[in-house]
Amino acid sequence: MDWGLENRLAKIINPRNNRALMLAVDHGYFLGPTEKLENPKKTITPLLKYCDSLMLTRGVQRNSVDPTTSVPMVLRVSGGSSIIGEDLSQEQITVSMKDALRLNASAVAMSMFVGSKFENQTIVNLGRLVNEAEEYGIPVLAVTAVGKDLGKDARYLSLACRIAAEQGAHVVKTYYCDHFEKVVNSCPVPIIVAGGKKIPERDAMQLTYNSIKGGAVGVDMGRNIWQSQNPVPMIRAIRSIVHGNANVEQAFKLYTDLCRENKSLKQQNKPKNQHKIKSNKANSNKSKTPSGN
């Protein structure tokens, strides 16, 4: 492996423990303003210091991330469909390698839709992206997207992951499933697990724990972090599993402790004479005329 490629990969997957915590915020590329990601900067800023890398589009990177950050960027370079369009699998490469370099991408990412109408197009695009990215020493993350009629089972996911690796992807993102070891064992490159739709916090921690136990290097998690009522405690709990070898009990305890701390901090920061302020307001309102003057 070329030095540059290996060095970039080491920024995403920590070589000391072979683990990765990627924060996914690229959803807007086909979903538009997803719930809790309406203002990407507001969502990303408090979470940034707890992730190893950030997966995003160039628009979000340029407009919502401070360029002085040291967090590596995994740049989504595919797109072309929307949630209201005809077929989500009709994606193309939309970002040039030149722009990826300008954005100092540590990796580029694209979706591949095995078993879909546009399977051929997305697999060929993956091969072409690897050709180009290898020239510049940039790793490629293949996102094994699942068509709406396909199940996320070990048979399908191992097919998709293996095809991605055969095309030259350096990392493959997939879903956790029963018999996950089958998916990992038949894929010669590291596997990172997507969080998927929002589920209860403890379940998302279990998913993370199971994924790592099953052989994944980590998670590329989005909604289960920033759609949580408590995004910072949530990412810290997930981090404790990925990097601290915490089990689900320990991670959930960390989460609840941090939530409690946050709550008491908020209470402490409330103005002490709030009651006074309220009653003064009520008095001053009394003196106002019905028109409010």
Contact status: 91 vs ligand R5P (CB under 6 A): no
User: Residue 133 or residue 192: which is nearer to ligand R5P going by CB?
Assistant: 192
SS3 197: coil
User: Residue 222 or residue 233: which is nearer to ligand R5P going by CB?
Assistant: 222
Residue 114 to residue 164: CA distance in whole angstroms: 9
Contact status: 143 vs ligand R5P (CB under 6 A): yes
Strand ranges in the chain using DSSP code E only, listed in sequence order: 20-24, 53-56, 73-76, 78-79, 92-93, 107-112, 140-144, 171-174, 191-194, 218-221
Contact status: 24 vs ligand R5P (CB under 6 A): yes
User: Residue 190 or residue 195: which is nearer to ligand R5P going by CB?
Assistant: 195
| Minimal distance, residue 68 CB to ligand R5P, in Å | 24
Residue type, 166: E
Tokens, residue 169: 């992807």
Of residues 45-64, those binding ligand R5P (CB under 6 A): 55
Q: By the 8 A CB rule, do 195 and 221 touch?
A: yes
Contact status: 236 vs ligand R5P (CB under 6 A): no
Is 198 tagged catalytic?
no
Using alpha carbons only, give the angle 58, 31, 92 rounded to the nearest 5 degrees.
Answer: 55
Residue 29 to residue 7: CA distance in whole angstroms: 28
| Minimal distance, residue 36 CB to ligand R5P, in Å | 10
The size of the interface with ligand R5P (CB under 6 A), counted in residues, is: 13
| Minimal distance, residue 219 CB to ligand R5P, in Å | 8
Residue 159 to residue 177: CA distance in whole angstroms: 13
> What DSSP line would sit under 221-235, residue for residue?
E-HHHHTSSSHHHHH
Q: Which contiguous run of DSSP H or E holds residue 124?
A: helix 119-136
Q: Which of 27, 162, 170, 236 binds ligand R5P (CB under 6 A)?
A: 27
Contact status: 40 vs ligand R5P (CB under 6 A): no
User: Residue 203 or residue 261: which is nearer to ligand R5P going by CB?
Assistant: 203
Of residues 185-224, those binding ligand R5P (CB under 6 A): 194-196, 220-224
Q: Which of 42, 152, 173, 197 is the catalytic position? A: 173
Residue 56 to residue 43: CA distance in whole angstroms: 13
User: Residue 11 or residue 223: which is nearer to ligand R5P going by CB?
Assistant: 223
Footprint on this chain of ligand R5P (rule: CB under 6 A): 24, 26-27, 55, 143, 194-196, 220-224
Residues with catalytic function = 173
